[in-house]
Amino acid sequence: MFDDVGHRDVALPAGARWYDWWDASGTALEGGTAIASVDTSEHARVPLNVREGRWCRWQ
């Protein structure tokens, strides 16, 4: 699941586009793919991807 330095691959479910919560550029990621070697060593910044068309409350 993790390699020896805290990296892992994150799979994005097919059928939608996804956005990385932490990426300010707003670049969409295609579903049905995997993001390779995501750094999970920083516990305050876990991998968080939001499905296109969903909204999140800020409060």
What pTM does this model have? 0.73
CB-neighbour burial class of residue 22 (10 A; exposed 0-12, middle 13-18, buried 19+): exposed
Direct distance between the N- and C-terminal alpha carbons of the chain, in angstroms, rounded to an integer:
33
Going by C-alpha positions, the residue among 59, 32, 29 that lies closest to residue 48 is 29
What is the predicted pLDDT for the residue at 43? 75
CB 1 within 8 A of CB 38: no
Q: What is the pLDDT of residue 1?
A: 52
Q: What pLDDT is attached to residue 58?
A: 59
pLDDT tens-digit series, residues 1-59: 555 667 888 899 999 999 998 888 989 999 999 988 888 777 778 888 999 988 766 55
